[in-house]
């Protein structure tokens, strides 16, 4: 059994909108619906746990549950103060039979079923994986004074995306470890790494962007328009 935890509890202040970015419209549908529908369609996903901001409960019920039929969304729960706490809340609600857990940003609506499949297969083989893509630009690692420390090889630097997928016990243990050691990570793979478990990168998609700013919303709409032409 495979579980997807979709994180939609952030406020999205950089969108400069009064409405949480998850509920802004993208091609006539809320961003979060685009995301959820991909996981809903995947035959590899058995249950979806949606983690939302406690202030968005009524909005979510009205604009998501009642309007769209998402039979795999088994639970809608409140998020925590930080992303890490939101994931932990989601992990506490997964089906006991779940063997693989995928954690995905609700604001990445252009995720594909192919990426989901790759992550699940990778998690089964390696225990912990993250979708990502190699960087296109040259990266400079700088020192505190602003001067360049060194330039890593581009082939060695990837942009991390979601979903990230894990064997259930690995990700649960990672969050327990983080709580014990007072570790706050920027993503779940980091917590697994801190525990000493290797994380395998699987190829995502450059189009699998996270909608954070108004410009990202324009880009996502352009990508969808382009795909529909073909």
Dump pLDDT digits (tens) for 146-165: 999 999 999 999 999 999 99
**pLDDT tens readout for residues 172-226:** 999 999 999 999 999 999 999 999 999 999 999 999 999 999 999 999 999 999 8
Q: Distance between CA 49 and CA 77 in Å, rounded?
A: 8
CATH of 2-228, one of 3.40.50.920, 3.30.200.20, 3.90.550.10, 3.40.50.300: 3.90.550.10
Does the pTM exceed 0.75? Answer: yes
Place of tokens 């189009």: 207
Q: Domain ranges in the chain? A: 2-228
Q: Distance between CA 191 and CA 174 in Å, rounded?
A: 6
């Amino acid at each position: 059994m495979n579980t997807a935890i979709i994180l939609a509890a952030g406020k999205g202040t950089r969108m400069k909108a009064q409405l949480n970015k998850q509920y802004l419209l993208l091609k006539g549908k809320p961003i979060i619906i685009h995301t959820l529908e991909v996981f809903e369609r995947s035959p590899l996903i058995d249950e979806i746990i949606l983690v939302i901001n406690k202030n968005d409960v009524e909005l979510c019920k009205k604009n998501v549950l009642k309007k769209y039929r998402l039979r795999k969304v088994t639970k809608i729960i409140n998020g925590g103060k930080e992303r890490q706490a939101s994931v932990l809340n989601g992990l506490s609600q997964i089906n006991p039979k779940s063997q693989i857990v995928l954690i995905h940003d609700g604001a990445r609506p252009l995720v594909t079923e192919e990426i989901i499949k790759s992550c699940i297969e990778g998690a089964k083989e390696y225990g912990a994986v993250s979708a990502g893509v190699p960087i296109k630009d040259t990266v400079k690692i700088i020192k505190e004074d602003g001067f360049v420390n060194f330039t890593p090889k581009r082939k060695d630097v990837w942009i991390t995306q979601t979903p990230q997928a894990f064997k259930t016990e690995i990700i649960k243990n990672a969050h327990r470890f983080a709580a014990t050691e007072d570790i706050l990570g920027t993503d779940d793979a980091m917590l697994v790494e801190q525990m000493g478990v290797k994380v395998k990168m699987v190829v995502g998609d450059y189009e699998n962007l996270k909608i954070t700013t108004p410009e990202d919303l324009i880009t996502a709409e352009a990508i969808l328009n382009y795909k529909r032409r073909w």
